[in-house]
Chain A
């Protein structure tokens, strides 16, 4: 909770200072766009946080977004598939990819880093091959479907909330329920902290891990569909590039530990928001965009360093308290 508050503080700081420097940042148009992009990235970041909570990593989601995004456009426009068949196929492919990752990692005991690194290369290649590396798009078709990504719901007379925000809220709610209110969520945290002890407690750790990778890929697939609908012009070689790193960074910034066993959905969403606001600020404050990566990297680093220092401070305080004998444990034995 403290962690989430901390990252929320960072969010406010970046948000307010950007708004003060350039009021255009809080214009209706910019805010709507910002919310849409936070929502799209939030979906994939929640996915990767499931994997990170188990102590794993998924580097393939950027490429998977590229593949599912290209596939969506290609199947609908080039192959003339119906909307429902297309969406179901794309989601099924995503689930299959996640299951393959999970099986390789649990049954063959391969390292998540290696498996998903290969995925990163593989899916990008497949995306480019299927589409012949041609840019894909919907043109003027699929306008209803595209509303999923670019539509908005008017709130009052001036402001509207983009549809993806509602999709994110739905996914966040379900994810949050799973993590906090179900036995599977508890299992994920338990195995992320200590897989052996979880296994010794009768938890089917393999199945739980496979489920986490499937969740991650499924949400990347949903992300891929939405990104393609939003952009309309999809480069199979470019869509989703570096998104895995954005998602992982957002998850870590939002309180997930790469050691596993830690993380909250709310934190991850705020982490995503920080990333997007930073990105937006760089554009809107006309900071040279070449500096984009450097700035985002520096801010994330500052965030995790602060977090680590705060943790040490808390540990020291605890040690001092114990030396003073405040801890009731010392009295017992």
Chain B
């Protein structure tokens, strides 16, 4: 322990905390400190352990090892109630408000002021108003939460935290669904809280925001401390290099040859943006990235392509032939495959073996008259999982116990044994660690080199820059522009993704 001299002043002191979940070491000896009135940003890639750490502080999870001290006293935060007593409040990414109740009832949910056993309604609403003023909420405390915007809901959550006399406020991606104006309001509130001496742990993916708000930055990588930055050192570059640990090698695909246009989307209209037509083409062996902000209609587009939701108009042609796509079965038969966005919900069956998952889409070809040829099925599973380099003790292991990266490889295995002509990937590396990301990228390149056309949606700029031969940027359901390899840059993508300045980004974010 280094900072022994300051120990007494530190409000929160987390000392080498570890936490293991089945199949993954989520936290490996993480330490950090927090003083009064300090905004500490905790950053790191997906799966770096931020959420686990916050859950431990909020009493949702208990650590396997390590110590947590508050005001120098060692504490055990074994429940959310205990966390509250210790003055810790967590503001979730997905807000935990009861929509059907008004603001005041939400702020004091479970702690209603009482009078003769009844809720003291006048006091409830009056008290609520005080905390609302603190966070800059100007509406009435009797307003229903369902009538509030995302930003205001966030403020209600903060007001609730303040009403519990919280001294440590944990904010998990607070601006992820806020508009520009709401974000500014939130910054103001954060600054006011800081002046009042509230300590804030601020988790964010948005580095410019961190640069602006944070007094100090703690970077996590693969469940461990990757480093700290103090006020003067906080720059986007410094943060990125600590997060990634090594430069992801702007290794750019060099050798690729494009055949004929293989897949063509002509004037395709999706139910989420019925007014906009989308036209994209994809060549044999080409990797096309679809970039854009969350809510730009990218996932919806892939879902239409895969027959999950019906198109409203336009057509999809594969090798010149118009496709009729009314179910995933149609799409698969035509030679399409989708690695979906939500792996655990849509991609794999967690409580099923690796082998059975890998063959789930191709059982028909391993069967005669409906009867499975177990041997052939097993052989296929073995071949494909080896080819995709799935790391599993054996094929009978439940997918649940594999790491995220290996789960994703199981999904790829499922499709590649079908020899698809087009592979659709939705956020292919979401929630998987850095090493596995690299492997997924290599696999994507291998797949493309076999002549399969790849269309992938990604919200990670790194990934788009690295992987796409050509980039299509979507904005509010339409194609905002297309960038060739030469034109591709972070600025160019952001310019198009935010609507090239012609409409304020606020409207994008509200979707």
Contacts and interface: CB of A to CB of B under 8 A. Distances in A.
B346 interface: yes
A201 interface: yes
Nearest to A315: B22
Nearest to A194: B349
Grouping DSSP codes into helix (H, G, I), strand (E, B) and loop, the A interface class, with mixed when no group exceeds half, is: helix
Nearest to A332: B391
Contact of A193 (B347, B350, B392, B405): B350
Interface string B337-365: 01010000111111110001000110110
Nearest to A329: B23
A198 interface: yes
A318 interface: yes
Given A193-B349, A329-B393, A200 B338 contact: yes
A318 B363 CA distance: 31
A141 B349 CA distance: 54
A291 B65 CA distance: 51
Contacts of B367: 182-183
A197 B328 CA distance: 11
B352 A190 contact: yes
Nearest to B415: A201
Interface in B388-431: 391-393, 401-403, 405-406, 414
Contacts, number: 100
A144 interface: no
B20 A323 contact: yes
Interface string B314-355: 000000000000011101110000101000011111111000
Interface in A296-333: 318-319, 322-323, 327-330, 332-333
Contacts of A30: none
A182 B402 contact: no
B116 interface: no
A261 to B, nearest CB: 6
Interface in A238-264: 261
Contacts of B414: 201
Contacts of B20: 319, 322-323
A88 to B, nearest CB: 25
Contacts of B406: 329, 332-333
A9 B18 CA distance: 41
A24 interface: no
A186 B338 CA distance: 21
Nearest to B366: A183
Contacts of B405: 333
Interface string B433-444: 101100000000
Nearest to B364: A183
Chain A, interface residues (CB within 8 Å), range: 20 to 34
Chain B, interface residues (CB within 8 Å), range: 35 or more
B8 interface: no
Contacts of A328: 393
Contacts of B393: 327-329
A216 to B, nearest CB: 19
Contacts of B370: 182-184
Interface in A194-216: 194, 196-204
A189 B23 CA distance: 24
A181 interface: yes
B461 interface: no
Nearest to A186: B363
B506 interface: no
A57 to B, nearest CB: 19
A200 to B, nearest CB: 5
B252 interface: no
Contacts of B350: 193-194
Nearest to B356: A186
Q: Which of A186, A194, A202, A332: most chain B CB closer than 10 A?
A: A202
B329 A204 contact: yes
Interface in A153-186: 177, 181-184, 186
B403 A329 contact: yes
B346 A196 contact: yes
A196 B345 contact: yes
Q: Which of B345, B364, B435, B436: most chain A CB closer than 10 A?
A: B345
Contacts of B348: 194, 197
Contacts of A184: 370
A317 B94 CA distance: 33
A198 B360 contact: yes
A189 B351 CA distance: 10
B347 A200 contact: yes
A261 B348 CA distance: 14
A111 B391 CA distance: 39
A322 B371 CA distance: 37
Contacts of B306: 200
Q: Which of B351, B393, B435: most chain A CB closer than 10 A?
A: B351
Nearest to B307: A202
A329 B391 contact: yes
A88 B327 CA distance: 35
A181 B361 CA distance: 16
A200 B64 CA distance: 37
B126 interface: no
A182 B374 CA distance: 10
A200 B414 CA distance: 11
B25 interface: yes
Contacts of B338: 200
Contacts of A190: 349, 352, 356, 360
A182 B329 contact: no
Contact of A201 (B328, B401, B435): B328
A322 B393 CA distance: 13
A163 B49 CA distance: 62
Q: Which of A193, A197, A327, A328: most chain B CB closer than 10 A?
A: A197
B236 interface: no
B435 A333 contact: yes
A25 to B, nearest CB: 40
Contacts of B345: 194, 196-197
Contact of B361 (A202, A323, A329): A202
Nearest to B342: A196
Contacts of B372: 181-183, 186
A184 B306 CA distance: 23
A181 B349 contact: no
Nearest to B303: A200
B356 A200 contact: no
A108 B286 CA distance: 41
Nearest to A328: B393
A207 to B, nearest CB: 10
Contacts of A203: 329, 360
Contact of B329 (A177, A183, A202): A202
B308 interface: yes
Given A194-B345, A202-B361, A261-B351, 14 more contacts: A181-B371, A182-B372, A183-B370, A190-B349, A190-B352, A193-B350, A193-B352, A194-B350, A200-B347, A201-B360, A202-B328, A322-B22, A332-B403, A333-B433
12 contacts: A190-B352, A199-B328, A204-B329, A261-B351, A318-B22, A322-B20, A322-B22, A322-B23, A329-B393, A329-B401, A332-B403, A333-B403
Interface of A: 177, 181-184, 186-187, 189-190, 193-194, 196-204, 261, 318-319, 322-323, 327-330, 332-333
Across the A-B interface, the 9 shortest Cβ-Cβ residue pairs: A202-B332, A332-B391, A183-B363, A194-B349, A201-B361, A182-B370, A202-B329, A201-B360, A328-B393
